[in-house]
Amino acid sequence: MTYKAPVRDYGFLIKDVFNTDQYHNVPGFADADSDTVMAILEEAAKFTEEVVAPINITGDKEGCTLNPETHEVTAPKGYKEAYKALTEAGWTALSSDPQYGGQGLPHFVNTAFSEMLSGASSAFGMYPGLTEGAISALTAGGTDEQKALYLPKLISGEWSGTMNLTEPHCGTDLGLLRTKAVKAEDGSYRITGQKIWISAGEHDFTSNICHLVLARLEGAPAGVKGISLFLVPKFLPDADGNPGERNSLQCAGLEHKMGIHGNSTCVMVYEDAKGFLLGQENEGLKIMFYMMNAARYGVGLQGLAIGHAAYEAAAAFAKDRLQGRALTGPKSPDKPADSILVHPDVRRMLLESRALIEGGRAFLVWGALQADFQHHAEDEKAREKASDYMGLLTPVLKAYLTEKGFKITSDAMQVHGGSGFTEHFPASQYMRDVRITLIYEGTNGVQALDLVGRKLPSKGGRALQTFFAEIDAYIAAEEADSKTPQYIAALKTTKTKLMDGTMWLMQNGMGNPDNAAAGSLDYLCLFGLTCMSYMWAMMAKAAQTAIDNGSDDPFYATKLKVGRVFLERILPEADAHLAKMKGGAEALMSLEDELF
């Protein structure tokens, strides 16, 4: 089984659905006309299929190794060479700031590339993924000097980045963190403490690793208000900005884990390590959130990317595997049995997966466009709107797409039957690799609490109201003479359910916050379904328009067939989510703790 990058689907989204050429006045978009982008994505597909995909299975089997003497980590065979090829071809610099050596292309181009990279090998894709997050934090919180020194090397991929939040006693609740920072006479800081589960914390393919570490200054306020952020490089840059003196930090251990074996998950120990403050003292979390938000979007993307790769493997398997006969009579009478593709239950798994993947991919591209508008839209109002959307929808993108990525991957294993449970087929690796996406970067339960507790009420509910108004305007514009009215009707109904759920939260969550918390993941899924419904309405319209304009490309008719599966087999889940959240917290809270 080889990885097949979804280039055609990106062509559809970029040209037919979102028509990104219409934004040519937005900075960055002028150099990204759709033909140029498609040429880039053809190359991206070649790179990920030919260079990255081959190291996915071998990386899983071999894993990373730690030299207990030197504390250096060696990534699996082939990773170093693939990383070299990745950076030499400039893939790490696609959407970064040209002032620091980036190519300045819009984020949706990088989204398409990142999906292909993660789909080809999610463990490998995490190395540049973490660096991307570090770039966001440095861009937001670094001084001009820090940016000039670090950004060009991170953007080119010569150096890499990490994110150090978690400690043994401190996961979701960052207020508990204990890593200590002491100010030194030269204005830098000395960092002491232990961080665990640090992805890409140590490896053998960059000449320096820049750790972004959350720590607490002596006398800082308790809880999250007393957290500062430090840049702690493995090698301290010398006067010329090259890796100099070795800093006093090391990888003390590697985690043995369920999946993503090719990515090093490190215990990092800092002993009086020299660090540099990013932003202001005690305001570290504010800057770290830039990295965390970038990473949350990236994890949603990772869930979907693995789901897509697993779907492709399952579809290929289903075509080959001969078992049983079609209930309506043999489809391949010359063979001992029909392929399992004749069975409605197998088709259910494959097509529901496909409806989720294609809707989710559109959601990611739409989200990436918001990230571009947030920084570059010409008028202030448009920037504000996009920024509100990013805040509101990041938890939805992260949690909904990883929940569904996991379901798709599980169904891909089911399509394989017993073969899926063996290591001869790739389904089991996808299953092991995707599971972490529901956990790290804030568990999905915590994302749902963030949506309900922080994002909805933020700025008096402005983001949600703007989002509802956008959907209402879309429905009003399309309703009268839509060629695909069933999608508009579905969007209208789903949005009404989401409004109903929102009202219920307002009426029942304020008095008893357990009600809001108990229903939060269902509410998030209802939100995800509304977004997917919006995406499918736009995709169906684009596909139908192409057909009406005389296109005989079977891609468009296929898109509508998959869209129908979304309407008939995925969207009904909205009712269940709404009913579950309206049940409130009582059923969950009434059992006494000692009876668990």
Ligand X SMILES: Cc1cc2nc3c(=O)[nH]c(=O)nc-3n(C[C@H](O)[C@H](O)[C@H](O)COP(=O)(O)OP(=O)(O)OC[C@H]3O[C@@H](n4cnc5c(N)ncnc54)[C@H](O)[C@@H]3O)c2cc1C
Interface residues toward ligand X, by CB under 6 A: 163-166, 171-172, 197-199, 257, 265, 436, 439-443, 445-446, 449
Which residues pair with residue 249 across a beta bridge?
A: 270
Unique residue bearing structure tokens 């251990």: 253
CA–CA separation, 475 vs 434, rounded Å?
Answer: 35
Phi, psi dihedrals of residue 232, rounded to the nearest 5°: -125, 95
Phi, psi dihedrals of residue 213, rounded to the nearest 5°: -120, 130
Take residue 284 and report the two structure tokens written for it. 């570290």
Cβ closest to ligand X, residue 166 vs residue 370: 166
Least gap, CB of 444 to ligand X (angstroms): 7
CA–CA separation, 153 vs 147, rounded Å?
Answer: 10
Q: How deeply is 554 buried, as exposed, middle or buried, from its count of CB atoms within 10 A (0-12, 13-18, 19+)? A: exposed
Cβ closest to ligand X, residue 171 vs residue 359: 171
**Exposure string (b/e) for 468-506, b if CB count within 10 Å is 16 or more?**
beebeebbeebeeebebeebbebbbebbebbeebbebbe
Cβ closest to ligand X, residue 172 vs residue 207: 172
Least gap, CB of 523 to ligand X (angstroms): 14
Least gap, CB of 441 to ligand X (angstroms): 6
Cβ closest to ligand X, residue 176 vs residue 184: 176
- The answer to whether 346 touches 556, Cβ cutoff 8 Å, is no
Least gap, CB of 166 to ligand X (angstroms): 4
In terms of residues, how long is the chain?
A: 596
Take residue 444 and report the two structure tokens written for it. 């999905």
Instruction: Please identify which of the residues 49, 132, 441, 478 carries the catalytic annotation.
Output: 441
User: Which residue number places its CB atom closest to ligand X?
Assistant: 171
For 71, 74, 126, 183, the CA distances from 66, given in Å and listed in that order, are 6, 7, 18, 32
Cβ closest to ligand X, residue 32 vs residue 452: 452
Q: Annotated catalytic, 441?
A: yes
Least gap, CB of 533 to ligand X (angstroms): 27
Indicate the helix (H) or strand (E) that contains 207: none
Cβ closest to ligand X, residue 136 vs residue 166: 166
Take residue 222 and report the two structure tokens written for it. 């308790």
Least gap, CB of 173 to ligand X (angstroms): 6
How many helices (DSSP H) and strands (DSSP E) are in the chain?
A: 20, 11
Cβ closest to ligand X, residue 358 vs residue 441: 441
CA–CA separation, 45 vs 117, rounded Å?
Answer: 9
The DSSP 8-state label assigned to residue 244 in this structure reads E
Residue type, position 256, single letter: H
Least gap, CB of 171 to ligand X (angstroms): 2
Q: Which residues are catalytic?
A: 441
